[in-house]
Amino acid sequence: MFSISMMNRFVEQESPERPLSEGEAQELASILHRQLGRNLRKARRRLFHDLLSLSSGLRDVVMLDYVVASREELRPLLGSLARLPRLADTRLLHMGGCLYLAKLAALLQRVPTSSTPPTATQPLGVVVDEGEPRFVTAVECLSFHDHLRQFASGLAAAAASAPEAQQPAPPLCIDLEGLLMEQPLPLPSLNGWLLGYPAVYLFHLTRGPRAARCLSSASLHLFQLRACCRYNVDTEQRSPNTGHQRTGNDIALCSFSVPASLSTQQFEEPWAQAFKSEILRKLAKNEDRTWETLTFDCTLQAPQTIAL
């Protein structure tokens, strides 16, 4: 089971909490210009902003579903990121054919604890393999969080036992394919937790098609966290007077969906309010002004085909 002692090793390697300097942002942009090959250049802008969201503490994990590259191709980039104090503890996770950049200490610190009442913890499970979407019961929530603790324990163990773990720091790349095969939770559920969504879709491993039909027949609310970024990966687009980008730098930092029937109050729902409060807390904690004009949007989407 997941324990505090397993987390301590990664907490010791956590990046320092201090504002991101403009010089560090410029160095990050320079690294991406040098390290990304021709086939990755189209992803440079999004990767730059994802890395800034990690460095500022707004996100713990980002999925690289827009990057067409192998772990080996990304390894030199990780080595260069290790030179930046705010990104030194960034690791590459590989699971289910997906690649993620993660700050292990921050991720493991938000594992639901067994002592916290299920009504006070996130994420909130949404059951989607029955007739209509519904929130989990208190008993189901306890089981869901127990599964998350088992997954986190396996993640910490995989990092500690990887070949590179002979070094003082955790390895740059962590393969979780074997761990995924042992999990009772499907990949979409694990993705929802990894990416920090306040509500996560839950379904039995054998009921993926049923869950997809359930979501495809439902109207969904698409929740988005958006912000304007102070920095731009292309330095020539920066304002010569203020150092800020000129225009058009509105970034979608995070987006997730919830059945409209379960989110009638949109961002006024208690779990959505808690999500907003946590984001604003993280933003105030760093005070680095990397992100400005933070907005929370919610739009209604008509039923459409959903693949899980």
Domain boundaries, the chain: 4-301
Determine the Cα–Cα distance for residues 125 and 21; give it in Å rounded to an integer.
38
Contacts of 233 (CB under 8 A, 6+ apart): 29, 32, 33, 44, 45, 48, 49
Q: How large a percentage of the chain has pLDDT more than 90? A: 53
- In this predicted model, what pLDDT tens digit does every residue of 95-107 receive, in sequence order? 999 999 999 999 9
Mean pLDDT within 213-222: 96
Can you name the residues that pair with 39 across neighbouring β-strands?
none
Name the residue with tokens 């980008």. 245
- Confidence band, pLDDT 50/70/90 cuts, at residue 225: very high
pLDDT tens profile 120-144:
557 899 999 998 999 999 899 999 9
Report how far residue 139's alpha carbon sits from residue 135's, in angstroms, rounded to the nearest whole number: 11
Mean pLDDT confidence for 249-271: 93
pLDDT band for 113, please (50, 70, 90 cuts): confident
C-alpha R_g of the chain? 19
Residue 36 has pLDDT above 90, yes or no: no
What does the mean pLDDT of the chain come to? 84
| Res 246: pLDDT | 39
Angle at 308 between CA 207 and CA 73, to 5 degrees: 130
Lowest average pLDDT, out of 75-84, 140-149, 233-242, 255-264, goes to 233-242
Are residues 192 and 275 in contact, defined by beta-carbon separation less than 8 angstroms? Answer: no
Q: Which residues contact 36 (CB under 8 A, 6 or more apart)?
A: 43, 44, 47, 77
Residue 40: predicted pLDDT = 79
